[in-house]
Amino acid sequence: MQLPHRCRICPRACGADRAAGQAGYCGADDKLVVARAALHHWEEPCLSGAPEDARGSGTVFFSGCALRCCYCQNYPISQQGVGKAITAQHLAEIFLRLQQNGARNLNLVTATQYLPWVLEALDSARSAGLSLPVVYNTGGYETVETVKALDGYVDVWLADFKYASPDLADRLSSARDYPAVAEAALRQMLIQTGAPVYDAEGFLHRGVIVRHLALPGCTEDSFAVLQTLARIRKETGVPFVPSLMSQFTPFYKAAEHGLGRRITTYEYRKVIDEAIRLGLTDGYMQEKSSAREEYTPPFNLEGVE
């Protein structure tokens, strides 16, 4: 896959001449930039195990993002350019090193803007012995074409479904088309992976996890997201793992957009009750105590340099 002259990799379709070094909406240009590569212990238990598990998920954090949400907890890398430029071969070596260090899977966080390099690195690493399940950790804002391009490369999709309301998606992520785009992408993910498959220890080796982060003052939209997910499950007949999250913390520019507080216990309880009503109980419901800053890793180029 070649770096495009008129980039259409993500739904923004900004048309940047990235092959000539022009940065796209996502912030990426003609260089691959990575901010951290290390064992990570704060994903769903079926990916990273218990917090005390020494192995964890082999997580690679890429710089830039097509969504650039106003409340992003990873904003130093998603919107401020923190990271180091490396080659695809170096990325392949990082993948193999994470496997050698005992990672249970290879977890690629917000990688789509670097799709040509990622595919090349996965091909190279697999030819050199990479055998870990590949987890694609995404905000859900993906084109169907990109999802299809990753068929045969991605074993587990770890996808957000952030909003059901175009107005809310526009206000918080400048992406009015998010609900429709995320639904189309999720349906394609389900087609490609099928039902969840676990190993003997209970770790997910194939399937889709759908995350939803409940936001303060937005419980009605959370209800609508859950109703959308229940509808997709019914219409496709393909099960996925729902993951309901309470960890919102008012990072970055959240307060400027009406999100200056954490979600209350009452709000989150209402969202959980709706998930239960809809039968979305065969997954994860995060404890309210998870809204803590220390769950955001330091982007200090660990594992990259």
Give the CATH number, domain containing residue 201: 3.20.20.70
In a domain, 288, yes or no: yes
Residue 294, pLDDT score: 53
In a domain, 53, yes or no: yes
Cα angle value 276/281/285 (rounded, 5°):
95
Cα angle value 258/230/200 (rounded, 5°):
105
Domains: count for the chain: 1
Residue 33, pLDDT score: 98
Are the C-beta atoms of residues 157 and 138 closer than 8 Å to each other? yes
In a domain, 117, yes or no: yes
In a domain, 15, yes or no: no
Residue 2, pLDDT score: 81
**Domain residue limits at 85:** 34-295
In a domain, 173, yes or no: yes
* Alpha-carbon gap, residue 107 to 95, rounded angstroms: 9
pLDDT of the chain along its 305 residues, tens only? 788 899 999 999 999 999 999 999 999 999 999 999 999 998 999 999 987 778 999 999 999 999 999 999 999 999 999 999 999 999 999 999 999 999 999 999 999 999 999 999 999 999 999 999 999 999 999 999 999 999 999 999 999 999 999 999 999 999 999 999 999 999 999 999 999 999 999 999 999 999 999 999 999 999 999 999 999 999 999 999 999 999 999 999 999 999 999 999 999 999 999 999 999 999 999 986 554 555 678 899 999 98
Query: What ranges in 82-177 are assigned the alpha helix state H?
Result: 88-100, 115-127, 144-149, 166-173
In a domain, 304, yes or no: no
- Residues in the chain, overall count: 305
Cα angle value 123/12/159 (rounded, 5°):
55
Q: Which residues contact 4 (CB under 8 A, 6 or more apart)?
A: 18, 19
In a domain, 29, yes or no: no
Residue 289, pLDDT score: 56
Q: Where are the beta strands (DSSP E) in the chain?
A: 32-40, 57-62, 84-86, 106-109, 134-138, 156-160, 197-198, 204-213, 241-245, 284-285
Residue labelled with tokens 């429709």: 180
Residue 305, pLDDT score: 83
Query: Coil, strand or helix: which one is 296?
Result: coil
In a domain, 25, yes or no: no
